[in-house]
A and B are shown apart, each in its own frame.
Chain A
Amino acid sequence: MTSFALRRGLMALPVLIGVSLLVFVMARVIPGDPVLIATGLERAHPEELARAAQRLGLDRPLPVQYADYLGRLVRGDLGVSLRHQRPVVDLILDRLPATLELAGVAFVLSLGLGVPLGVISAVRRGGPYDYLAVLVSVGGMSVPAFWLGLLLILIFSLNLGWFPASARGGPLAEAAWAIFSGGGIRPLLRSLSHLVLPSIALAAPAVGLIARMTRSGMLDVLGEDYILGARSRGLPERSVIYRHALKNALIPVVTVSGLFLGRLFGGAVILETVFAWPGIGRLAVLAVGRRDYAVIGGAALMVAFGFVLVNAAVDLMYAALDPRIRYG
Chain B
Amino acid sequence: MSFRKCSALILVAVMIIALVAVGCGGEAGPSEGGRLVVGNNSDVASLDPHMATDLYTIRVCDQIFDTLVRLDFDGNYVGSLAESWSVSGDGTVWEFDLRDDVVYHDGESFDASDVIFTFERILDPELESPRRNELGLVEDMRVGDDGEADLIITLREPNGAFLSTLLTVYVVPEHLVGDLGDKPRGSGPFVLEEWVPEERIVLSAFDDYWGDRPLLDELVFRPIPEVSTRVVELETGGIHLMDEVPGEDLERLEALDEIRVTSAVGSNYSVMGLNTAREPFDDPNVRKAIAYAIDRERLVEVVYPGTAVAADGPLPPSSWAYDEDFSGPGYDLERALGFMENSSVPDGFSAELLISEGERMERGAVLIQSMLEEIGIEVEVVTQEWGTFLQSLIARDYDMLRVAWTTDPEPDALMYSLMHSSSEALNFTGLSSPDVDSLLDRARAESDVEERAALYREVQSIAVEEATMIYLLHENHVAASADSVHDFRPHLTGAFYFQNTLGAGTWMEVD
Q: How large is the interface on B (under 10, 10 to 19, 20 to 34, 35 or more residues)?
A: 35 or more
Given contacts A41-B393, A45-B425, A276-B226, contact A84 B232 (CB under 8 A): no
- Looking at the assembled complex, report how far the CB atom of A198 sits from the nearest CB atom of chain B, in whole angstroms: 11
Asked whether A153 lies within 8 Å of B425 as measured between CB atoms, the reply is: no
Contact of B385 among A32, A47, A52 (CB under 8 A): A32
- If A85-B51, A161-B236 touch, whether A278 touches B130 (CB-CB below 8 Å) is no
Q: Are B9 and A32 in contact, CB atoms less than 8 angstroms apart? A: no
Contact of B130 among A39, A154, A167 (CB under 8 A): A39
Q: Give every chain A residue within 8 A of B402 (Cβ-Cβ).
A: none
Q: How far is the CA of A38 from the CA of B488 in the complex (A)?
A: 30
Q: Does A196 contact B (CB under 8 A)?
A: no
Which bucket holds chain A's interface residue count?
A: 35 or more
Give the contacts of A209-266 with B (CB-CB under 8 A): none
Cα distance, A165 to B222, chains bound together (Å) = 13
A164 touches B45 (CB 8 A): no
Residues in B whose Cβ lies below 8 Å from that of A46: 424-425
Contacts of B76 in A (CB 8 A): none
In the complex the two chains form, is B236's CB within 8 Å of A276's CB?
A: no
Question: Contacts of A30 on B, CB cut-off 8 Å?
Answer: 387-388
Known contacts: A43-B134, A276-B223. The answer to whether A33 contacts B390 by CB under 8 A is: yes
User: Given A32-B390, A276-B222, are A166 and B134 neighbors across the interface (CB < 8 Å)?
Assistant: no
**CA gap between A274 and B406 in the complex, in Å:** 27
Contacts of B9 in A (CB 8 A): 159
Stretch at the interface among B27-35, B192-200, B207-215, B303-311: B192-200
Is B197 in contact with A40, judged by CB distance below 8 angstroms?
no
Query: For the complex, what is the distance from the CA of A246 to the CA of B383, rounded to whole Å?
Result: 51
Q: Which residues of B contact A115 (CB under 8 A)?
A: none
| Distance between Cα atoms of A36 and B226 in the complex (Å) | 25
Are B426 and A41 in contact, with the CB atoms below 8 A? Answer: yes
CB distance from B236 to the nearest CB of A (A): 6
Please state if A158 and B405 are interface contacts (CB–CB under 8 Å).
no
Q: Give min CB distance, B6 to chain A, whole Å.
A: 5
Query: B387 contacts which of A166, A278, A291 (Cβ < 8 Å)?
Result: A291
User: Do the beta carbons of B388 and A42 come within 8 Å of each other?
Assistant: no
Query: Which of A44, A45, A83, A275 has a CB less than 8 Å from the CB of B229?
Result: A275
Q: Is the CB of A95 within 8 A of B229?
A: no
Quick one: given A45-B425, A94-B197, A95-B197, are A37 and B387 in contact (CB under 8 Å)? yes
Indicate whether A86 reaches chain B with its CB closer than 8 angstroms.
yes
Chain A residues in 8 Å Cβ range of B6: 154, 158-159
| B5-28 contacts to A (CB < 8 Å) | 6, 9-10
Contacting pair A37 B390 (CB below 8 A) = yes
Assess whether B54 is interfacial by the CB under 8 Å rule: yes
Whether the Cβ atoms of A85 and B196 lie closer than 8 Å is no
Does any Cβ of A come within 8 Å of B225's Cβ?
yes
Does B53 sit within 8 A of A, measured CB to CB?
A: yes
Interface centre among A91, A153, A275 (most CB of B within 10 A): A153
**Chain B residues within 8 Å of A155, by CB:** 1
Q: B407 in the interface, Cβ–Cβ < 8 Å?
A: yes
Task: Indicate whether B278 reaches chain A with its CB closer than 8 angstroms.
Answer: no
A44-B394, A83-B45, A155-B1 are contacts. A165–B229 as well, Cβ < 8 Å?
A: yes
Give every chain A residue within 8 A of B197 (Cβ-Cβ): 91, 94-95, 278
Bitwise interface map of A from 144 to 174 toward B, beta carbon under 8 Å scored 1, else 0 = 0000001101110111010011111000000
Residues in A with CB closer than 8 Å to B128 are 48, 51-52, 55
Q: Is the CB of B48 within 8 A of A85?
A: yes
Cα–Cα distance between A42 and B130 once the two chains are bound (Å)? 10
Is B232 touching A32 in the complex (CB atoms < 8 A)?
Answer: no
Give bound CA distance, A291 to B388, whole Å. 10
A39-B53, A158-B236, A276-B229 known; A84 vs B387 contact (CB < 8 Å): no
Q: How far is the CA of A159 from the CA of B7 in the complex (A)?
A: 9
A85 and B46 within 8 A (CB): yes
Q: Does B181 contact A (CB under 8 A)?
A: yes
Tell me whether B472 is interfacial, beta carbon within 8 Å: no
Is residue B233 contacting chain A, with contact meaning CB distance below 8 A? yes
B434 at the interface (CB under 8 A from A): no
Chain A residue nearest in CB terms to B403: A41
Q: Is A57 an interface residue (CB 8 A)?
A: no
Return the chain B residue nearest A55 by Cβ. Answer: B128
Known: A85-B51, A274-B229. A158 touches B235 (CB 8 A): yes
13 A-B residue pairs with CB within 8 Å = A30-B387, A37-B386, A39-B53, A39-B130, A42-B406, A83-B45, A86-B46, A94-B198, A154-B6, A155-B1, A168-B199, A278-B197, A278-B198
A→B interface (CB under 8 Å): 30-34, 36-48, 51-52, 55, 83-86, 91, 94-95, 98, 150-151, 153-155, 157-159, 161, 164-168, 273-276, 278-279, 282-283, 289-291
Interface residues, chain B, CB within 8 Å of chain A?
A: 1, 6, 9-10, 45-46, 48, 51, 53-54, 125, 128, 130-134, 181, 196-200, 222-226, 228-229, 232-233, 235-236, 238, 385-388, 390-391, 393-394, 403, 405-407, 413, 417, 424-426
A32-B388, A167-B224, A276-B222 known, 6 other contacts, Cβ within 8 Å: A51-B125, A150-B229, A154-B6, A164-B238, A278-B199, A282-B225
